[in-house]
């Protein structure tokens, strides 16, 4: 790569204040790694004639290129122009299979997701089978010596794999990503000649280029640290489809400089990810949760969505961060995503400054949403809260209680209406145990998490036909609903079943 290009690339989106620092780093990296790492534009004709300076300059970045570097990080173009020495085709993954291995901290788990997101966009496929990989990338850790030793050992194993592969198929490419690449830089390339690419924690956008260079048989590295790279526009791809949790990273780097710690040197300066990008990721995760609730029979279709008030004015005083309209929109979205979902909510009656009009707004929200379950409270001022310091608890106690009663009445009416729709239906119920109110009844929960009461009698077991059983806690049973109140459903039990055997009942 042309040195000037390299500097500009490092500076892209970077504040001007950082120019000299990065320039220094870049030149240092260039001079020491040059022999083995970066293919210069004229490198194909190595040992041949070096193009003269002006023609190299012509092939370098244009003024537009430079202007683009001043773009806001959020406006980074999705598709970059290929560098002059690579074609778009060479830059593409062309369905090559990448095997990613993650070591160390949760930040590395997130980095793996970012690296994979970049490569996926570039036309790579993912494999979880080492044997069928065309590219193996280790997302490495430098936190303690032992962490690095683990990677060196792994590299020795991969070396054997690569040597074997050389004879049979297309060459296997091996890359070191993350903190160890950053800390050791060219030392890795020199020590392990079979490592093809190095990418530091701020260089994952460059992975397609580095891999394209590696395809020509040369080692390639980008270990430049950035002052502002947060990968804000790269949505991490959750790497484990069966993962039960997801981490949303909100910052990168560290400025603490604890006297024992390498992190500030491998991950660079502390920088926060833009709030909009964090929110977008959380929104996508929430969408996935809704999708899961919809798809999976073993997850009950109930969502608790505490509204607290139906008045946007009161919601603002409560500092809830949403308006009535936004809340209602969310309710519609959830109902569309999970047909038949059961919704519950919390409400506070008589918050500071709540007028009769505000209260009626809450009444109308209860009617509009028609919750299946509700938890309603009269407001009680709590010391230390913002309301305690800044607002006046000005709704008289008797008014609070009267409003609470009204809310409870309306909630019950609406819940009873909603529950009435279940009468005559056969529902799958997860048995919890004996009913608290009656020794002869059992109690369980339906798919909407509503209580279902039914007599404790012998029933047929669908898994063992002819056998009569009594339901035990943890069993699934089918119950035909015969009556309802606002809080519970009642019915008679038909049989013991399993999640698998019970297809959708209404």
Handedness of CA 43, 45, 47, 48 (dihedral sign): negative
Is residue 345 within the footprint of ligand 5AD (CB under 6 A)? Answer: no
221: part of which helix (H) or strand (E)?
A: strand 220-222
Q: Total residues at the site for ligand 5AD (CB under 6 A)? A: 8
Does 394 interact with ligand 5AD (rule: CB under 6 A)?
A: no
| Minimum distance of ligand 5AD from residue 489's CB (angstroms) | 25
For residues 306 and 340, which CB has a smaller minimum distance to ligand 5AD in the complex? 306
Let me know if 170 is exposed, middle or buried by CB neighbors in 10 A (0-12, 13-18, 19+). exposed
Is 140 a binding residue for ligand 5AD by CB under 6 A? The answer is no
Calpha distance 127→118 (Å, rounded): 15
Q: Which of 15, 35, 306, 340 binds ligand 5AD (CB under 6 A)?
A: 306
* Residue in the shown chain whose Cβ atom is closest to ligand 5AD: 346
Which of 21, 265, 377, 505 touches ligand 5AD (CB under 6 A)? Answer: 377
- 346 near ligand 5AD (CB under 6 A): yes
- Count of alpha carbons within 13 Å of 142, Cβ hemisphere only? 21
Smaller CB separation from ligand 5AD, 21 or 322: 322
The answer to whether residues 407 and 376 touch, using CB atoms and an 8 Å cutoff, is: yes
- Does position 473 bind ligand 5AD by CB under 6 A? no
Using rule CB under 6 A, residue 382 touches ligand 5AD: yes
In angstroms, the CA 15 to CA 28 distance is 20
What does the radius of gyration of the chain's CA atoms come to, in whole angstroms?
31
- Give the residues across from 468 on adjacent strands: 460
CA–CA separation, 427 and 340 (whole Å): 13
If one counts every other C-beta atom within 10 angstroms of the C-beta of residue 317, the result is 19
- Residue from 216, 380, 416, 464 touching ligand 5AD (CB under 6 A): that is 380
| Candidates 180-188, 372-380, 404-412, 465-473; binding stretch for ligand 5AD (CB under 6 A) | 372-380
What DSSP element (H or E) covers 163?
helix 145-168
- Shortest distance in whole angstroms from residue 316 CB to ligand 5AD: 16
390 near ligand 5AD (CB under 6 A): no
**Count of beta carbons in the 10 Å neighbourhood of residue 196:** 26
- Between 59 and 352, name the residue whose CB sits nearer to ligand 5AD: 352
- Smallest separation, CB 317 to ligand 5AD (Å): 13
**Which region, judged by CB under 6 A, interacts with ligand 5AD, from 30-38, 113-121, 373-381, 461-469?**
373-381
- Smallest distance from the beta carbon of 346 to ligand 5AD, in angstroms? 3
What sign does the dihedral 495-499-504-506 (CA atoms) show?
positive
Considering only residues 308, 309, 361, 435, which one is a binding residue for ligand 5AD as defined by CB under 6 A? 308
Say if CB 38 and CB 214 are below 8 A apart. Answer: no
How far is the first Cα of the chain from the last one, in angstroms, to the nearest whole number? Answer: 65
Residues 18-27: contacts with CB under 8 Å, at least 24 apart = 18/227, 22/224, 25/224, 25/225, 26/224, 27/3
Toward ligand 5AD, which CB reaches closer, 5 or 362? 362
Residue 311 within binding range of ligand 5AD, rule CB under 6 A: no
**Residue 144 three-state SS:** coil
Stretch of 140-148, 378-386, 388-396, 422-430 contacting ligand 5AD, by CB under 6 A: 378-386
DSSP summary character for residue 443: E
**Closest distance of CB 381 from ligand 5AD, Å:** 7
Residues that bind ligand 5AD (CB under 6 A): 306, 308, 346, 348, 377, 379-380, 382
């Amino acid at each position: 790569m042309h040195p000037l290009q390299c500097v500009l690339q490092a500076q892209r989106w970077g504040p001007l204040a950082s120019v000299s620092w990065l320039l220094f780093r870049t030149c240092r990296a260039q001079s020491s790694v040059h022999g083995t790492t970066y293919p210069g534009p004229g490198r194909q004709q190595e040992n041949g004639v070096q193009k003269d300076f002006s023609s190299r300059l012509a092939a370098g970045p244009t003024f537009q290129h430079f202007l683009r570097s001043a773009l806001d990080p959020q406006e980074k173009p999705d598709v970059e122009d290929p560098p002059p020495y690579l074609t778009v085709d060479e830059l593409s993954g062309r369905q090559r299979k990448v095997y990613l291995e993650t070591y160390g901290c949760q930040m590395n788990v997130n980095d793996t997701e970012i690296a994979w997101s970049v490569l996926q966009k570039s036309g790579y496929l993912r494999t979880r089978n080492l044997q069928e990989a065309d590219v193996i990338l280790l997302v490495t850790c430098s936190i303690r010596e032992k962490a690095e030793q683990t990677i060196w050992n792994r590299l020795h194993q991969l070396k054997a794999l690569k040597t074997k592969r050389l004879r049979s198929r297309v060459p296997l490419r091996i890359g070191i990503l993350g903190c160890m690449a950053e800390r050791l830089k060219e030392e890795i390339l020199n020590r392990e000649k079979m490592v093809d690419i190095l990418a530091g924690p701020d260089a994952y956008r460059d992975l397609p280029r580095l891999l394209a260079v590696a395809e020509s048989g040369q080692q390639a590295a980008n270990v430049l640290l950035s002052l502002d790279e947060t990968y804000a526009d790269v949505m991490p791809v959750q790497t484990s489809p069966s993962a039960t949790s997801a981490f949303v990273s909100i910052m990168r780097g560290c400025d603490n400089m604890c006297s024992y710690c390498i992190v500030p040197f491998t991950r660079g300066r502390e920088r926060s990810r833009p709030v909009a990008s964090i929110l977008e990721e959380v929104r996508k995760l929430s969408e996935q949760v809704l999708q899961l609730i919809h798809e999976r029979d073993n997850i009950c279709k109930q969502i608790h969505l505490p509204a607290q008030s139906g008045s946007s004015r009161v919601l603002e005083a409560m500092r809830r961060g949403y308006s009535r309209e936004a809340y209602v929109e969310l309710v519609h979205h959830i109902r569309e995503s999970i047909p038949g979902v059961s919704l519950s909510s919390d409400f506070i009656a008589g918050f500071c400054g709540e007028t009769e009009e505000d209260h009626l707004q809450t009444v109308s929200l209860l009617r509009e949403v028609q919750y299946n379950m509700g938890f309603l409270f009269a407001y009680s001022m709590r010391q230390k809260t913002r309301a305690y310091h800044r607002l006046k608890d000005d709704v008289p106690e008797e008014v609070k209680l009267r409003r609470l009663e009204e809310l409870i009445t309306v909630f019950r009416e609406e819940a009873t209406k909603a529950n009435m729709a279940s009468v005559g239906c056969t529902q799958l119920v997860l048995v919890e145990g004996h009913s608290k109110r009656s020794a002869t009844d059992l109690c369980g929960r339906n798919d909407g998490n509503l209580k279902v009461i039914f007599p404790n009698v012998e029933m047929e077991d669908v898994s063992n036909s002819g056998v009569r059983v009594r339901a035990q806690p943890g069993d699934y049973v089918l119950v035909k609903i015969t009556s309802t109140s606002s809080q519970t459903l009642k019915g008679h039990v038909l049989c013991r079943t399993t999640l698998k055997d019970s297809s959708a009942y209404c």
